[in-house]
Amino acid sequence: MFRRERSIPLRGSAAALCNNLSVLQLPVRNLTHFGVVHGPSAQLLSAAPEGVPLAQRQLQAKEGAGVSPPLITQVHWCVLPFRVLLVLTSHRGIQMYESDGSVMVYWHALDAGDASLVQAVFARGIAASGHFICVGMWSGQVLVFDIPAKGPNIVLSEELAGHQTPVTDIATEPAQGQDGVADVVTADDSGLLCVWQSGPEFKLLTRIPGFGVPCPSVQLWRGTIAAGYGNGQVRLYEASTGTLHVQIDAHARAICALDLAPELLSAAEDTFVHIWKLSRSPEGGYIEVEHCHGECVPDTQVCGARFCDPSGSSFAVTGYDLAEILRFSSM
């Protein structure tokens, strides 16, 4: 059972995007950082354990040519071996900051060419893999940036071709070191999942087709891919083979966010947040799922949800038009 904790007020309401909540846990400093996209700006704030807000900062999308101010698509903290960077993607490019958002260390402008005349051009989907940061594009490409241990000498290392439609989300987990073991998963608007092994040259291991239903959110943990789809389903796959292991008719509307560690958290536009327990069956070795808890956030189109601690005993939720971060913790 979970109970509602004190909410954290936001300066601006959350935008109707997917994966619109990033959480950086800093247990050593007894702090939690939250990042939410409002529209043309994103809000970062840090809070103490009881949800008491301590500091907040707003970041703007870097301007460029165009009629209206550029909109941010996602904000996400990337935890790398020697540093943490905050990455912001927008309709103009990719901005990388020091983790508190104080200094921009890198700017990558989108090279849209004539594309912007006929289709939306943007970056979306952010994840750290080892000392790389992967960012998805409207074109389906995934840019891989090599991040030094410190300083602004960030270099575009590779451009991955695997998707034909806009990238929605990217998930990673620490590399196992062995050959052929997947540690990066990218998802797109057609529901296609590409499974990669990171390295100086990323290797495409397998593809999992989506049949036209978008996959807005994906997670990777201990070799299991959890993918949430626009038709409300959550599917679990074996990362190395792409085999479907579990299919959950989880929500009544499109899923907008997933989090995984060690429980699975799913949130959707149907106002519900569900928590699922994952385990490996002793006999068959296949993944088993059990529903643990369902929470209805009344009249709120949820747009972001994350666990706030490593054991999954608390989580936070954002909703469209809601100017606060809702918090829940287990009793």
Residues interacting with another protein, by CB under 8 A?
A: 12-13, 15-17, 39, 66-68, 71, 91, 116-120, 122, 165-166, 168, 188-190, 212-214, 216, 230-233, 241, 243-254, 270-272, 274, 284, 286-291, 294, 296, 298-301, 320-321
Cβ pair 244, 267 in contact under 8 A = no
Q: How far is the CB of 253 from another protein (least distance, A)?
A: 7
- Residue closer to another protein by CB (options 168, 172) is 168
- Residue closer to another protein by CB (options 183, 189) is 189
The amino acid sitting at 288 is: E
- Residue closer to another protein by CB (options 89, 129) is 89
- 3-state SS, residue 55: strand
Q: How far is the CB of 233 from another protein (least distance, A)?
A: 7
Cβ pair 144, 202 in contact under 8 A = yes
Cβ pair 260, 287 in contact under 8 A = no
- Residue closer to another protein by CB (options 58, 153) is 58
The amino acid sitting at 308 is: C
Instruction: Provide the 8-state DSSP code for 182.
Output: -
Instruction: Provide the 8-state DSSP code for 224.
Output: E
Q: How far is the CB of 38 from another protein (least distance, A)?
A: 8
Q: How far is the CB of 324 from another protein (least distance, A)?
A: 13
- Residue closer to another protein by CB (options 23, 248) is 248
Closest to 73 in 3D by CA, of 31, 19, 133? 19
Q: How far is the CB of 143 from another protein (least distance, A)?
A: 20
The amino acid sitting at 169 is: D
- Residue closer to another protein by CB (options 101, 214) is 214
Q: How far is the CB of 54 from another protein (least distance, A)?
A: 24
Strands 193-197 and 167-172: unpaired
- Residue closer to another protein by CB (options 127, 302) is 302
Q: How far is the CB of 66 from another protein (least distance, A)?
A: 7
How many CA atoms, within 13 angstroms, populate the side-chain half-sphere of residue 212? 0
Question: Could you identify the residue written with the tokens 């385990």?
Answer: 279
Please give the Cα distance from 305 to 300 (Å, whole number).
13
Tokens for 191?
């529901």
Cβ pair 320, 13 in contact under 8 A = yes
